[in-house]
């Protein structure tokens, strides 16, 4: 058993503890394209059948948009396929025989107005005549001795309804201004409950339902051009006032108003004013060092965000605070800088393998690349360089990280 501390021992060699650079490169590249989705970005759409009523006669239609907002949690669809093992001349062969759709559980906030409670009430009244019976008077249902009545009331599903209550229920997942959706076809409730009451409880009440369905439709779209119905609707309380940071998308586009928001201010005199206010105008060595560090960080954030959103990065020569953008050159190289760097064989020997490992060449892995001829390697390098020059953000980021690591 070794008595040496692994960390202290490794300080004397080239092997040492490193940061999670690989995770950063995977999850933050291409504007967080491969980052995991968060569970709290979702929207639900309930579409009742016209036979249920309309906005004047049915709460489900009147508060249709609000119902999606009051969804506290929802299960995404899950599937289970039945597979049987068959004998094919002593060979084991698995055969799919059926598919089962597992129920989705949807939980609502039990709001003070009673919108989600009204959903269950109308569903109950629509399918089951029990809720519509008169329980008082001479012809009341559910009296003790009605066995020999001349006219017995209808009970249960004897409601003369043929169309379903819901046409469909759609659950949207939101990420990076896009959505993916799961539409439950011909949904039916297999269970629903109204929570409980408890004088000692401190949490909120919930209404919950379990949904069976016949199939699932997968769809996707863009939030801006194909906004799901009810999402970001000011009529139901959504805050549609854009954030100052939202002006980033338009601030640097020629002809648009670039005077609003945080980023345009940092790109102009706002940066110098901010830093001077924070660190002063003195020439003290410690303050100057902190000021340079802050300038570099702000410049790096600005240029990185602009490039990831495919917006033009301003020319440092035309800015009143050039140090902000110039200091970023050592952090994130642009495509033209990388193309120039790749002309150096020493740089190319490091960057090209990193690009190959990132999947820059379809169906060409690092072993295939290493076993290629010199002319084929040159052709591969030219292909990747052309992609970077054309603005491939992923390859630009991989190459920039590799060059900065030299």
- 354 and 387 in a common domain: yes
Q: Using one digit for the tens of pLDDT, what is the confidence trace for 115-146?
A: 999 999 999 999 988 777 777 766 677 776 66
- 287 and 199 in a common domain: no
Predicted local confidence at residue 121, as pLDDT: 92
User: What's the token pair of residue 248?
Assistant: 């980033």
Domain-embedded: residue 121: yes
**For residues 391 and 109, what is the distance between their CA atoms, to the nearest angstrom?**
47
- 226 and 299 in a common domain: no
- 232 and 306 in a common domain: no
Nearest to 192 by CA among 128, 254, 97, 283: 128
- 204 and 112 in a common domain: yes
CATH number at residue 56: 2.30.110
**For residues 180 and 175, what is the distance between their CA atoms, to the nearest angstrom?**
9
Residue by residue, pLDDT tens for the chain (406 residues) are 455 555 555 555 555 555 566 777 777 777 778 888 999 999 999 999 988 888 888 888 999 989 999 999 999 999 999 999 999 898 999 999 999 999 999 999 999 999 999 999 999 999 988 777 777 766 677 776 666 666 667 777 777 788 889 999 999 999 988 899 999 999 999 999 999 999 999 999 999 999 999 999 999 998 888 888 888 888 888 887 766 555 444 444 444 444 444 554 454 444 455 555 555 555 555 555 555 555 555 556 555 555 555 555 555 444 444 343 333 444 578 888 888 888 888 888 888 888 888 888 888 888 788 888 888 888 888 988 888 888 888 888 888 888 877 6
- 220 and 101 in a common domain: yes
Domain-embedded: residue 16: no
User: What's the token pair of residue 237?
Assistant: 């309380």
The answer to whether residues 356 and 365 touch, using CB atoms and an 8 Å cutoff, is yes
Question: Which DSSP letter does residue 72 get?
Answer: E
- 202 and 120 in a common domain: yes
- 389 and 262 in a common domain: no
Domain-embedded: residue 12: no
Domain-embedded: residue 167: yes
Predicted local confidence at residue 213, as pLDDT: 96
Report the sign of the C-alpha dihedral through residues 221, 225, 228, 229, in that order. negative
Domain-embedded: residue 252: yes
User: Which of 282, 302, 330 corresponds to the end of one domain?
Assistant: 330
Q: Using one digit for the tens of pLDDT, what is the confidence trace for 26-63?
A: 777 777 788 889 999 999 999 999 888 888 888 889 99
The answer to whether residues 109 and 116 touch, using CB atoms and an 8 Å cutoff, is yes
Asked whether the whole model's pTM tops 0.75, one would answer no
CA distances (Å), origin 131, targets 48, 141, 152, 189: 19, 11, 16, 16
User: Which of 297, 330, 363 corresponds to the end of one domain?
Assistant: 330
- 256 and 217 in a common domain: no
Domain count across the chain: 3
Phi and psi at residue 120, to the nearest 5°: -70, -35
- 258 and 399 in a common domain: no
Give the range of the structural domain holding residue 384, as residue numbers without chain letter.
335-404
Phi and psi at residue 111, to the nearest 5°: -75, 160
- 359 and 293 in a common domain: no
């Amino acid at each position: 058993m070794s008595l040496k501390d692994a960390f202290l021992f490794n300080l004397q060699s080239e092997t040492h503890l490193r940061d999670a650079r690989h995770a950063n490169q995977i999850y933050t590249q291409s504007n967080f394209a491969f980052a995991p989705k968060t569970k709290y970005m979702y929207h639900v759409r309930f579409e009742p059948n016209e036979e249920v009523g309309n906005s004047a006669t049915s709460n489900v239609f009147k508060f249709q948009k609000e119902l999606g907002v009051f969804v506290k949690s929802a299960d995404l669809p899950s599937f289970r396929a039945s597979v049987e093992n068959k004998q094919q001349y002593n060979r084991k062969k698995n055969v799919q025989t059926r598919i089962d759709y597992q129920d989705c559980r949807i939980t609502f906030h039990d709001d003070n107005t009673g919108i989600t409670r009204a959903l269950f009430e109308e569903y109950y009244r629509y399918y089951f005549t029990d809720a519509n019976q008169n329980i008082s008077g001479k012809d009341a249902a559910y009296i003790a001795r009605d066995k020999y009545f001349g006219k017995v009331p209808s009970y249960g599903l004897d409601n003369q309804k043929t169309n379903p209550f819901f046409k469909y229920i759609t659950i949207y997942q939101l990420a990076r201004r896009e959505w993916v959706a799961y539409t439950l076809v011909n949904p039916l409730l297999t269970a629903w409950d109204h929570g409980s009451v408890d004088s000692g409880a401190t949490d909120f009440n919930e209404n919950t339902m379990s949904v069976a369905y016949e199939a699932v439709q997968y769809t996707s779209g863009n939030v801006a051009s194909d906004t799901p119905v009810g999402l970001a609707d000011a009529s139901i309380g959504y805050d549609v006032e854009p954030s100052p940071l939202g002006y980033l998308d338009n601030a640097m586009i020629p002809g648009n108003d670039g005077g609003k928001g945080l980023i345009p201010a940092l790109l102009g005199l706002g940066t110098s004013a901010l830093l001077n206010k924070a660190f002063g105008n003195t020439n003290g060595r410690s303050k100057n060092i902190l000021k340079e560090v802050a300038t570099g960080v702000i410049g790096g954030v600005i240029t990185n965000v602009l490039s990831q959103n495919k917006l033009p990065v301003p020319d440092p020569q035309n800015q009143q605070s050039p140090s902000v953008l110039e200091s970023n050159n050592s952090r994130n190289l642009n495509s033209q800088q990388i193309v120039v760097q790749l002309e150096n064989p020493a740089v190319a020997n490091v960057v090209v393998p990193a690009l190959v490992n990132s999947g820059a060449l379809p169906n060409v892995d690092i072993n295939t690349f290493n076993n290629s001829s010199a002319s084929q390697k040159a052709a591969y390098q030219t292909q990747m360089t052309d992609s970077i020059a054309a603005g491939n953000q992923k390859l630009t980021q991989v190459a920039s990280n590799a060059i900065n690591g030299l």
